[in-house]
Every structure is written in structure tokens, then in C-alpha cells.
């Protein structure tokens, strides 16, 4: 499903930024002076790099004063030794990796977002997407609040600041903000004295709590960031929970629900790192299960080899192979050096371009009936090329098995910002998909099977909106036209 990650650099203007699937992280030393929070944030953001490669940043809290550094680029490009050395050592910090669309790759959209409000300062790192941003922004703006961008992060930060005017603590302001805002929200807020984590009541995006040896605490989007900073997993932040660290103590300000009722299933399917555990469920294992489940369903075919689409389809392919008894093979090799600095071919349509990224292992597929497993299909463009490569390498038959259902509806919570008309399953039926991708057969995981891929998260409820068009909350206002997008004259 890597087709979604097209990069680029462009200039923001007056359009709505619809996408904030990101990685967030926060840390307090707990008084342990051997811990350099700047380094730890850097390690953690490195581990969370898969959640956002557009821009990144850090805010360090040194005795109540917050210093921020951010920029467009990968973690090693932005958080260089030189940049890190100019920040104070500090005792608290937050970090953020942003994954935006190419139109928003601008430093103005990099996070954390640091603001100075009436009662102090705060820095915010946010993962998710609001569904009532337009409305809330309209309200804020009518009270005279000024916006620099059209990002959800500004809406959230300003709401906290506004609520803070009428209450006694920043955690209370965060609570009130969470009540006002609708959408997927997993965020870390750092005030001069506190580090706060909050997660929406449906638990759409993940967020977990870790503990350092000598008393410090950590909040992170995924557990894979805990290990790199030497933190022990404590638990997931609960849906609707507001939790914060003050004076080296972890305090629950508002207790949330025990289990999400709208956790994004796509975190397991594609987004999260395989070595992470979300709500008790290993991401890696859920992918293998999805592959195995896919193998149980029609249409069954005789095949010689099962291969996966690198990297995200490999685990499902292994599960499929184990379940079906058809041998697993390595049929496609991805160029390890493909990266964001790769030069686009001058003839963009050039077929060799995709060959640079992906090559077939002829010995695996030549003359074979191949089952190609992928985790999902969104637009279908990459899948089409992969099938072509396999056929050119001599595959006799290519049967595609997708370890998730037909992706038919738009996501409003940050997974992907493809409009319905660009979704292959939104515009074609199964036979249409088969033809477009030039397959011998194609099958998707039935919806009722999708929910079985998380046996270790037994009571967890999921958002399956992209497969069903039914969302855990009202999204009717999410597509509202923002008056900011109108060209207001005066």
C-alpha cells in the first residue's frame, strides 16, 4: 500500500490540510540527570519515523521555559547534532513526526506547535484528524482568534488556550478541549510544569505509557518507541483518558473507558510497525492472522507459490502460505536504497521507474502459478505495476489475495486522504478490479473476518469506516467547506 506515501515539497495556501497521521512522543526524566531528553526524543522519533516522513520537531522544557526546533525532513536531517546541541538539556520534552500530503510539506506545518497564550505557554504534538475543525475554527475566529495555517493542530492548541482562560489548570483545559473537539485525537501537551497525554473516547489512534528505570515517564504513539529509550511498557492510554506527569508522578486526571470502541483497524493492517503491540495485540501477529484468514476463503486456487508485496504484504503472505500449505517464496525484492532523495525519472510514465524500486526473483515465479498477497489495495496503481513485473518475469498465473476487505470509503481519521472516486474499490466491482490489475483472480478478506485478526485485544471495538462507510462518530461536517478557503475580499 506504499503508493500512498508520495512525497514532495510544496507551498501551503488557503486549503484545508486533511491529514495528520503522525507519530508523537513525550518524556520526563523523573529527576534522573543521566537522561538527556533531547537524545531520547531523537531515538523515539527515529523509531516512529514510519508514521511520518515529511517533517519533525522537538520541544524541550528547561525549568519551565520551552524551546522548540523543527523542520522539513527526516529525523536525522532535522534533529542534527548541531540542532540538538543548541537546545538546553531540559527535564521534559515532546517530539513529533508529521506525515502530510505533499501540498503541506512546509516548515509552518511542522510540529510540535508552540504557543504563548494568556496564562502561559504550551507545546503540542498531535496525531489524528478532527471532524468538526471547520465549525470550531469558525467559533474561535469569531472571537478574534487568528490562524496561521489551516491545520487541526492550531484548532486544538487554540481551544486549549481559550479554555485555559476560564479554568484553573491546563489539564482541565485539555479535558474541556477534548469535550469540544470531535475526531481522532491522540496527543501530548507540554506546559511549563506538566506533560499531558490525551486520547479521544473512541481510541481511534493508539497511544501508550512507558516507565523509565529511575522514575521518568514516557508517552508514545507506539510501543516500538519505548524500547529504544529503555522504557518499560505500562499500559495503553485509555480512550477518553487524560493523564499527566507532574512532580515526577503519573496522575490520571480523567479516567477513560477500558477499551476503544473505534480503534482504527488500519493500524494493524498497514500503518503501525510490526514490532509494536496495540491494545495487547501484536501488530505482526495480526498481519499473519489476516493472511491465514485470507487463505481460508474463496476463491481457492491451485498455486505453486505464495509471495508477498514488500514490505507491508510479507507477513500476510507468510500467514497465507502457512494456512494454505502452498510454499512461501520471495518473489519480489525491494531496492533497499529507495528513499525520499530518489530522483524522479524525467519521463514520469517510464516503466523502468518501478523496476528500480522492485524487481522480481525470476526463479521464484517463472512458469509458476503465483499467489500475490498484499495487506490492502487503495488506488491500485502499485498493484498494477507489481502484477506486470511478475508477468514479465514469467509468472504463469497471478492470483491476488488481499488481507483486508474492499477499501470503499474515505477515511476521516488520518489513515489516508484518498477521495472515494480515486479508490479502486470505490469505482470498480471485483471483476473490474481483476481486469484492471490484469489478474487471474482476486479476492479480499471478508469484512466479518477482518475483526478476527486481533485475538489478543478481545474486547476492543474498531473503526472499519474505510471498508463499511460507517464511522464511530458523525463525520457529516468533516467535508464542510472552510470559509478560510474562500477568497475573502474586503
Active site residues: 22
CB of 341 to a copy of itself, least distance (A): 4
Q: What angle do CA 368, 328, 445 make, to 5 degrees?
A: 95
Instruction: Closer to a copy of itself by CB, 157 or 453: give it.
Output: 157
Instruction: Closer to a copy of itself by CB, 67 or 261: give it.
Output: 67
CB of 424 to a copy of itself, least distance (A): 25
- Residues 204/22, Cβ–Cβ less than 8 Å: no
- Cβ burial 134-168 (10 Å sphere, 16+ → b, else e): bbbbeebeeeeeeeebbbbbbbbbbbbbbbbeeee
CB of 391 to a copy of itself, least distance (A): 13
Distance CA 371, CA 444 (A): 13
Instruction: Closer to a copy of itself by CB, 67 or 417: give it.
Output: 67
Distance CA 166, CA 177 (A): 12
Instruction: Closer to a copy of itself by CB, 158 or 444: give it.
Output: 158
CB of 383 to a copy of itself, least distance (A): 19
- DSSP letters spanning 113-126: EEEEETTEEEEEEE
Residue 482, preceding peptide bond in cis (omega within 30° of 0): no
SS3 372: strand
- Residues 115/157, Cβ–Cβ less than 8 Å: yes
SS3 425: helix
Q: Which helix (H) or strand (E) holds 186?
A: strand 183-190
| Interstrand relation of 397-402 and 242-246 (parallel, antiparallel or unpaired) | unpaired
Distance CA 22, CA 48 (A): 9
CB of 385 to a copy of itself, least distance (A): 13
CB of 119 to a copy of itself, least distance (A): 6
By CB atoms closer than 10 A (0-12, 13-18, 19+), residue 438 is: middle
| Interstrand relation of 332-334 and 277-278 (parallel, antiparallel or unpaired) | unpaired
CB of 410 to a copy of itself, least distance (A): 25
For the record, the C-alpha cell of 66 comes out as 520551552
- Residues 73/56, Cβ–Cβ less than 8 Å: yes
CB of 452 to a copy of itself, least distance (A): 17
- Residues 191/246, Cβ–Cβ less than 8 Å: no
Instruction: Closer to a copy of itself by CB, 91 or 282: give it.
Output: 282
CB of 257 to a copy of itself, least distance (A): 25
Instruction: Closer to a copy of itself by CB, 2 or 463: give it.
Output: 2
Instruction: Closer to a copy of itself by CB, 392 or 429: give it.
Output: 392
Sign, CA dihedral 282-287-293-295, equals: negative
Nearest Cα to Cα of residue 288 among 455, 468, 88: 455
Q: 305: Cβ–Cβ under 8 A, 6 or more apart, which residues?
A: 326, 327, 328, 329, 331, 364, 365, 368, 369, 370, 371
Amino acid at each position: 500500500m506504499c503508493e500512498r506515501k508520495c512525497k514532495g515539497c510544496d507551498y501551503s495556501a488557503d486549503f484545508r490540510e486533511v491529514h495528520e497521521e503522525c507519530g508523537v512522543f513525550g518524556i520526563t526524566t523523573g529527576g534522573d540527570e543521566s537522561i538527556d531528553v533531547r537524545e531520547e526524543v531523537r531515538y523515539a522519533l527515529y523509531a516512529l519515523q514510519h508514521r511520518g516522513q515529511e517533517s519533525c520537531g522537538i520541544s524541550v522544557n528547561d525549568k519551565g521555559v520551552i524551546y522548540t526546533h523543527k523542520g522539513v525532513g527526516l529525523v536525522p536531517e532535522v534533529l542534527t547534532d548541531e540542532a540538538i546541541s543548541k537546545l538546553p538539556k531540559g527535564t521534559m520534552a515532546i517530539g513529533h513526526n508529521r506525515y502530510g500530503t505533499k501540498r503541506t510539506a512546509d516548515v509552518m506545518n511542522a510540529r510540535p506547535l508552540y504557543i504563548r497564550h494568556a496564562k502561559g505557554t504550551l507545546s503540542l504534538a498531535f496525531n489524528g484528524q478532527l471532524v468538526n475543525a471547520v465549525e470550531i475554527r469558525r467559533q474561535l475566529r469569531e472571537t478574534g482568534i487568528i490562524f496561521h495555517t489551516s491545520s487541526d493542530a492550531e484548532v486544538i492548541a487554540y481551544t486549549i488556550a481559550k479554555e485555559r482562560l476560564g479554568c484553573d489548570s491546563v489539564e482541565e483545559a485539555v479535558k474541556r478541549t477534548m469535550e469540544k473537539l470531535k475526531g481522532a485525537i491522540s496527543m501530548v501537551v507540554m506546559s511549563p510544569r506538566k506533560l499531558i497525554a490525551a486520547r479521544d473516547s473512541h481510541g481511534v489512534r493508539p497511544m501508550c505509557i512507558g516507565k523509565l528505570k529511575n522514575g521518568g515517564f514516557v508517552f508514545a504513539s507506539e510501543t516500538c518507541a519505548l524500547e529504544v529509550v529503555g522504557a518499560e511498557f505500562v499500559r495503553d492510554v485509555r480512550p477518553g483518558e487524560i493523564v499527566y506527569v507532574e512532580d515526577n508522578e503519573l496522575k490520571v486526571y480523567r479516567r477513560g473507558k477500558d477499551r476503544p470502541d473505534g480503534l482504527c483497524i488500519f493500524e494493524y493492517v498497514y500503518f503501525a510497525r510490526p514490532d509494536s503491540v496495540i491494545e495487547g495485540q501484536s501488530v505482526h501477529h495480526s498481519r499473519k492472522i489476516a493472511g491465514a484468514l485470507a487463505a481460508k476463503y474463496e476463491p481457492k486456487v491451485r498455486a505453486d507459490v505464495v509471495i508477498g508485496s514488500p514490505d507491508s504484504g510479507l507477513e500476510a503472505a507468510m500467514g497465507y502460505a502457512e494456512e494454505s500449505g502452498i510454499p512461501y517464496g520471495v518473489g519480489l525484492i525491494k531496492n533497499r536504497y529507495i528513499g525520499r532523495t530518489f530522483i524522479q525519472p524525467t519521463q514520469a510514465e517510464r516503466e523502468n521507474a518501478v523496476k528500480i524500486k522492485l524487481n522480481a526473483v525470476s526463479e521464484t515465479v517463472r512458469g509458476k502459478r503465483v499467489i500475490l498477497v498484499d495487506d490492502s489495495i487503495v488506488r491500485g496503481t502499485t498493484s498494477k505495476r507489481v502484477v506486470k513485473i511478475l508477468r514479465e518475469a514469467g509468472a504463469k498465473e497471478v492470483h491476488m489475495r488481499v488481507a483486508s476487505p474492499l477499501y470503499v470509503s474515505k477515511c476521516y481519521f488520518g489513515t489516508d486522504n484518498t477521495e472515494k472516486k480515486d479508490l479502486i474499490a470505490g469505482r470498480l466491482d471485483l471483476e473490474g478490479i481483476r481486469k484492471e490489475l490484469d489478474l487471474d483472480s482476486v479476492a479480499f478478506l471478508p469484512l466479518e473476518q477482518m475483526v478476527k485478526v486481533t485475538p489478543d485485544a478481545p474486547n476492543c471495538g474498531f473503526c472499519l469506516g474505510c471498508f463499511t462507510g460507517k464511522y464511530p462518530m458523525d463525520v457529516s461536517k468533516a467535508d464542510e467547506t472552510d470559509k478560510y478557503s474562500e477568497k475573502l475580499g474586503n
